[in-house]
Every structure is written in C-alpha cells, then in structure tokens.
A and B are shown apart, each in its own frame.
Chain A
Amino acid sequence: MNSNKSTQPQYERFTRLNRALHIFTILSFITLSLTGMTLKFSYTGWAVGLSRFFGGFEAAGFYHRLAAFVMIMVFLIHLVDLARLKISSGWTFKDMLLHPNSMWFNKKDWLDLKASLKWFLGQGDRPAYGRWTYWEKFDYLAVFWGMVVIGSTGMTLWFPEFFTLFLPGWVLNVATIIHSDEALLATGFIFTVHFFNTHLRPEKFPMDIVIFSGRVPLEEFKLDRPEEYAKLVENGELEKHLVEPYQPIVIRAIRVFGTVALFTGLFIVVWIIYAMIFAYR
C-alpha cells in the first residue's frame, strides 16, 4: 500500500453506530458462547479447563450474564436506532419493511437467490447484488430472531424464582433446551456459514474488514454490488457516501481484532464438533 492509495476516497457502507454495535456483538457473543458451552459440553475435559480459566462456574456465570446484558443493550440500541430512522424518515412500519434497503426479504432477494444458484451451477453470470444480499439479510434476521429466543429463555433461567410465580416448573426445562440448542445453532451458524459467506470465501479471504472500517474501496464496491452502485450513481448520491480511508495503523488494529475473533470462533467450532462427535453422551 502506498500513500496514494490510502488517500483515495472510499464508499462508506456502515454507519459508526452499526460498526460499534457489531464490535460489541462480537465481544458479547464470543463471551456468551464460550461461557455457555462450558455448561452445554460439561462432559468434556475441554469444558472443565475452560470453566477453570474463567475462574469457576460462578465467575463464568457472571461473565455470561454480563455479556447477555451487553448484547441486550446492543439489541435495544439497534431498536432505538431503527425507531429513530422511522421517525426521521417518516416511514410507516410497512415502508420500513418494504423499502429497497430494508433488511426484510423482497422480490429481488428471490430473484438473486435463483440467479445465484444458476451462477453456482454455471448457468449464468454473477447476479448484480444490491445493498443487502439475501444471505446477509438471513444472517441479520437469524441473529434478530436468535436474540429474542435465546434472550427470553435466558431471562427465564436467570430469574427462575420469578418466572415460576406464573409458569410451571417444567418450563425451565423447556427453556433450557431451547436456550441451549438455539445457542448451538447461532454459534454454529455464525462461526461457519456467516464466517464463510462474509469473510472466508476466497475473494474476501481472510476477512472482510468493512464491518469494522465501514469503508470499501470504490472500485471494489463497484464490482461487488453493481446494483447499489448503479442506483447511487443514478440518484447522484454517491459523492455523499465517499469518505477518507483510515490510517494503516487503524486498519492493522482492525485486522488483529478480526483475526482474534475469527480464530476464537473457529476454535469454538472445532470444540463443538469434537464434543458432538467424539464425546457425546
């Protein structure tokens, strides 16, 4: 990299708030999975060691609840952010869902999916993906759903004395199963499918730092998401989204953080696979 390149204006894809929320999501999610897995896979030596590392099941439980609090805050802040968007734009809920830049699925996603499958099978070109691809929307909605499900069951287990005031005791057992298996799904999905789709696929390997930097080089943006680019150029809004790139040191810090997060995630996957296959009882 030379100075020339680093001064080229880049397209800003993610707002500062969203990038911050993602970092907190990563931190809390990894903490939650590590501490939670010690219980789920308590029959493995791995879990015992990890639990010790955290300083015992009570300390691990504390970190789990602390991370849960952080994640709930992330979730709430995001909801507030959405509410602010709704208010500032004057959109109805329906508008929110059906807007072309909405995270909700729309017709283009269906077409993209079909076109993608064709592309995969050598029956066509790479589709002209827009601002949000269908797999990105799936990731987002899965996490959204997961937070609700895992969060609500988690609260039940956090305050069982309170919840059994109006729910039967066996609900705690059901909540345990849902909490645990939904968490397994989330962890497994994020650390394999999301990792591949977003970071590990060859053209992004080893990671796509846009979620941290928020910026993507214009040329790359043009090629990766031609539909969005075209729309921005068409509306004359592209200039509005161009920003200065970050200093190399910032980029390096981002890469270090990303690498650690990536490896932690992959490590967890390896551990889950080991526990499921070799130590399952």
Chain B
Amino acid sequence: MYEIVREPVRTSLLHKTFIFALTYLLIGWVNPVRLRAQTLDNEQCLTCHGYRSLERIENEESISLYVDRQVFNHSVHNVLSCTDCHEDALPQPGKPGHSPGLQKVACGNCHRVALQQYSMSLHDKRVAGGEELAPMCQTCHGSHDIKPLASPESNVRPIKIPALCGSCHHEGTEVSVRYNIPQDKILENYSQSMHGEGLLKKGLTVSATCVSCHTAHRILPHTDPRSTIAKQNIASTCSNCHTEIERVHQKVIRGQLWETEPHKLPACVDCHQPHKVRKSFYIEGIADEDCQKCHADQEIKSSLDGRSLFVDKTEISHSRHAQTACSQCHINVDPRHDRPCETLTEPVDCSICHESQGEDFRHSIHGELVAKNDPNGPSCTECHGDHSVQGRANPDSPIFPTNIPNLCGNCHRTGQDAAVRYEGAEKDIVFNYIESIHGKGLLKSGLTVTATCTNCHTAHREQPASNPNSSVHPNNIAGTCGECHMGVEATFLKSIHSPMVSQTDERLPVCSTCHSAHTISRTDEENFKLQMMTQCGQCHKEVTESYFDTYHGKVSQLGYTKTAKCYDCHGAHDILPPEDPDSRLSRQNVVETCKTCHPAANRQFAGYLTHATHHDPVKYPILFWTFWAMTGLLTVTFLIAGLHTLLWLPRSFQWKRELRRRLAAAEQAEQFDGNTDEENNEQQ
C-alpha cells in the first residue's frame, strides 16, 4: 500500500486517509454485528417509531422517539438494522417492543479508531466529567440522518465545519461564557482569515478548517504537549498543508535549526495569529499593546538586577523593527499568563531571523567570547543597539559606515579593553585608520563606500589574522582587498608573489605587507613610494642594497621619488621575474620600460647595471677592479702626500721663525736707507 506514496511530505495526509478507508472496510466486513443475521426487521421498529407522536417524558421534558424512515433510508447507515446500533433494543419475549431506557448508542463499536481518538480528547474528558455541553458523536455527526462524508448534506463536510464548531465556539454561546478559551471571536476571525475566506467565499474545500488544525476527534488544548496545536507541534501541523513552507521562510527555519533547535524558532502562530492568518494581521503579532501595559512605565525595573525594563514605544516605531512584534524577538512569551513574559528565560536570539549573521557571529572571535560568557565579548546589541536598532543605510545608525570606526573604537581604540588585551603588531589602530587613505576617504571625503573596519574584518565573522579562516589571514587578504580593488587582485594572482604562481615555503607578500593594514596611504604619496623600497628589501635584501649603490638608489635615499624605484621597473602587482616574457624587464619589454623615464633609451642603454655593486668580483669583475684600482690610486696618493706633509710640518715651523728673523733683518737694513716699514706681517 506504500507504492502510491510518492512524496514523503504528503505521507501523513494520504496515509491517514488510506488507513482510515481500509480500517473502515475491514471493520465493516469482520464486525460481528454485521455478520449477525438481522434478527429484527427495521420495519418492526418503525411500527412504533414511525409515528411522529412517539415520545418519552424525562425530567418533565418530552423527547421525541420518532425516526423518519425516509431520512434513515438515505443515511449512510441504511444498510444496518436498528438493533446493530441499539443493541439492547431486542424485543422481550411475549411483549411488544423493548424495555424502556435504552443505553446510548456506542458508535465506537464500529468506529473504533475514531472512538480511540475521541476518548483522548478534551471533549470526551468533559463528557466523562458530566458536562452536558460537551459534544459527543451525534452532536456533530447527527444520529439517524448521518450522511456519507461525500454527500453535500453531510454535517461534517469541510464547508460546514466552521459553522458546526462555531455553534459552540462563537461569541456569546454558553461554551464561550462558561469556559476560559484564550482565543476570542474565533469564528468571526476565522471567516475573515485566509483559510476562512478560501473555504467560505471561494469554496476551496481544501482550505484549512477547524479540524485541519485541531483534528476532528482528538481535540486537545494547546497546553497539552500531545496536541496538534501545542507550540512544538504547530510547525508540523501547518506543514501538513504548507509542505514546503521552509522555502519561503529560509531565514527563520533554514537548515539544522529547524530540525535540531525548534524551541529557538518562533512558532508559526507567533507571527500568523491562529485564527487570523492574513497578511494584514501579521504585523500585530502577539499584541504589543499587552506588553506596553507594563513596559510603558518608565519606572519598571527588573526584580533580578534592577535594570530598567522600560520600553520606549516610539523608539521601536522609529527603528528598523517598527514592523516587528515584541513576541517575534521575545519568543518564549506565553499569553496564558497574566504576565506573558513571565516565561521568558533566554535573552533575545537575533539569529532566529538573522540566521546567517548569527552563524557568522558564532564563528567570530566576538561570538567565541560571548559563548564563553566573557564579559568582553560584544553581543548583537552592543553594536546594533536593542529597541532602537537601525539599518546600516541610516546615518544615525551606529553601523552606518562613517560611524563604524568609532563603534569598533569603543573597544579597539588605544587604551580600551580590546586594545590592551591585543598582542599583535598593529598599533594605534583607530587613530592610524583615521589618518589612512581609507579613513580620510570615509571621514573627510564622506565616501561611504570606502573600506571601514568591517569591510576587511567582516561585520560578523571577524577573526584574528592568525586564524586561517579570517578574512585578514595572509592567505585571504588578496580576496578581501579584491572585493573593492577590482582587477588588482586578478593581476596580483598572476604575479610571482602569488601563491598560485610561486610554490615556496617562504612567506610571500600579500597586499598588507606592502600597503600596511591600518596606516595604508595613497600610493602616490612620497612617503609611501620611499617606504616601498625598504619594504621590498625586507625579502630582497641583496638587490636592494646594490640598488642603493646606483644613481637611482642614491637619489631615492636622499628622499626624492623622481628616479626609478623598485616598482617603476619591476612593476607592482604585476611583478614577474625578468626571465618571464611578460615581465616589464624581459628582453622585449625592458627598453620600453626604460623609456618611461628616459625617452631616448636604446638597447645598450638598457644594459646599464641597475643593481651593480663593486663588491662582487665574480658577478661584476670590471666594476670590482675599477673600484680597487681607484681606491689604490687614492691610497697611494694620500699616503705619499700625507707623509710628505707630515715630514714638512716641523721644518715649516722652523722656517717660519727663520723667515721672521730674516725679514726683520732686511727691514733694519732698509731703515738705514730711510725706510721705516714693517715688512710682511700679512703672511703671519
């Protein structure tokens, strides 16, 4: 009998129908009552009961005992004899008719499954408790007039069900007065609901009726865990019809959460009010007004820790969650209590709606801290706020791009908790960011598309760079930067520095190696250009040193950027070894590369040794020997001249005295000639 079952999700409905039919037939055939010969002709019974005036007085009320032959003959039970049901109506020997006061008919003799279900129901419990309003089989199904289910005249055809149940369950009935049934205006609401409208106005008999949710016979209150409308069963009840509802509720009931942690999800009825399922009703949820009865009070405080429990309704109505009901977040409220929030135990779990964000957050360092109950771990509300939560497009929101550096800075600014605990190499993160090209773009130029903290570190899945899953882990940096810097990533991944090109154990540079993380500056800034050479030199030590021996390097070292620096010749993101034909320094490209600065460059000009050093006799013998020849010349010259001078010095002092003496003598001689000149003090 299973081969007709194609889709597992439909199993229950088809299966039940099938079983029901089978059981019905089996019971019909093997039922002893059925097999028993009709011991009494129905006509015999109708001899008396065919009279309209036949009645019985009980408690001063007359009860008609008339059975309409026509009605019975058209009923579903027309094949049965009266005594099949009224078993104790067998005639007594020698007397006409039967003894008065027959037992109530036990439908369950035949309808065993229905009886079994009914016997578990609230209705049966009330019957057993002697409650006269409680319905029994015939209350709904009728007695001698029971029509086949398919008959338009059946009392329990879907289209008639709301009215049937509503005969007791509508405003003003004795049932509604006597019992505290949490729902009100059930029939009215139902008839206006999507289901009611479908059934009653559009005649869609597949629309959900009362029994679709509450079952026909096994009606139980929602507080009973066995009930189809108990909170934990609602989803499966609704999905009897709404079989693929998870597809349109992906955020709420996606994936494992649906299967493993249903208590974390709001029940269908938390959003779709049970008897009012209609789009226009969704927004109301569990009446926010009820919550506001207490929480509008500014003085209301938690009895546990004294924090204010005041909820500013205008704050919510201006928030991103203006259309969200209290109970959609505070999901464990129980409207049966005077204080529905009494049952709240868990804090709000935003991930019941924001599922992917929640998943990311659980994998972030923040989420890990929160999971460990570390007071430093920020929860959703620390960044997003609670009732005032705003979308990131709202400039007042703390997560609006221009507010993010400040938001993260609350903990990560120098001196704050997270910055104190942090042991990595980055310093003055927030300050440096603000001074960086990204920070200036964001905060000074107001470019809200500029990278903020969350663009690189992600909003919810931030992890330290040491974590291989981190967006800022060296292996992932290129991808992270590439999100904005289109094309650069692709170029970089083809370069020699890309791990896809270079298979090496050595650490390859990533974007941040050269551009830094938080101090990132414009690449046309002088400081950046000069810094690049030291940056390259961290790995390419020897070539950088020899570069600084050449004219280009020397000018750079003086702090000028107009001569060729590493990247001017080698390229930046597209850097390739000179052997590579695509390299800017390959044989076919090198002259063009030189020409960018030296327009008249030629093939031999490109032969200039840009990394020449005179310290390497093997690689550059000519330079080495030229240098040492020059140095030899210098040394010899200075040695000879120095020695000559040193030897001269003492004699020179002597000669100075001698000169002075002789000049004085010459002066005296001249004085004799009539000249009174003091000679030559000039040189002294």
Contacts and interface: CB of A to CB of B under 8 A. Distances in A.
Contact of A164 (B563, B607, B647, B681): B607
A167 B604 contact: yes
Interface in B636-680: 637-638, 641-642, 644-645, 647-653, 655-656, 659, 662-663, 666-667, 675-680
Interface stretch (A73-81, A197-205, A259-267): A197-205
A152 B560 CA distance: 27
Given A42-B554, A57-B555, A173 B604 contact: no
B609 A169 contact: yes
A47 B651 CA distance: 38
Nearest to B612: A173
Contact of A169 (B545, B607, B630, B649): B607
B557 A201 contact: no
B102 interface: no
A169 B611 CA distance: 13
A71 B626 CA distance: 25
B623 interface: yes
Given A56-B560, A169-B606, A170-B612, A1 B681 contact: yes
A173 B676 CA distance: 64
A121 to B, nearest CB: 7
A217 interface: yes
Interface string B531-572: 000000000000001001011011101111011000000000
A171 B622 CA distance: 10
A48 B604 CA distance: 32
Interface stretch (B255-263, B271-279, B343-351, B595-603): B595-603
Contact of B645 (A52, A196, A219, A220): A196
A181 B631 contact: yes
Nearest to A184: B634
A219 B666 contact: yes
Contact of B644 (A40, A135, A204): A135
Contact of B602 (A52, A164, A178, A217): A164
Contact of A178 (B563, B630, B663, B681): B630
A274 interface: no
B633 interface: yes
A157 to B, nearest CB: 8
A169 B644 contact: no
B633 A197 contact: no
B683 interface: yes
Contacts, number: 167
B2 interface: no
Interface residues of A, number: 63
Contact of A57 (B560, B622, B630, B675): B560
A1 B555 CA distance: 51
A165 B602 contact: yes
Contacts of A117: 647
28 contacts: A1-B681, A5-B679, A42-B555, A43-B557, A56-B560, A57-B562, A120-B648, A168-B607, A169-B604, A173-B609, A174-B622, A174-B626, A178-B626, A178-B630, A185-B630, A189-B638, A193-B641, A193-B645, A202-B653, A203-B652, A203-B655, A203-B659, A205-B684, A208-B683, A219-B680, A220-B663, A220-B680, A223-B663
Interface of A: 1-2, 4-5, 8, 38-40, 42-43, 47-48, 51-52, 56-58, 116-117, 119-121, 126, 135, 157, 160-162, 164-165, 167-170, 172-174, 176-178, 181-182, 184-185, 188-189, 192-193, 196-197, 201-205, 208-209, 217, 219-220, 223, 251, 281
Given A58-B562, A169-B608, 20 more contacts: A40-B554, A42-B557, A48-B558, A52-B559, A57-B555, A120-B647, A121-B647, A164-B602, A170-B623, A173-B550, A173-B623, A185-B634, A203-B656, A203-B659, A205-B684, A217-B679, A219-B680, A220-B659, A220-B680, A223-B662
Closest 9 CB pairs of A and B: A169-B607, A181-B630, A161-B600, A120-B647, A164-B605, A42-B554, A203-B656, A169-B608, A164-B604
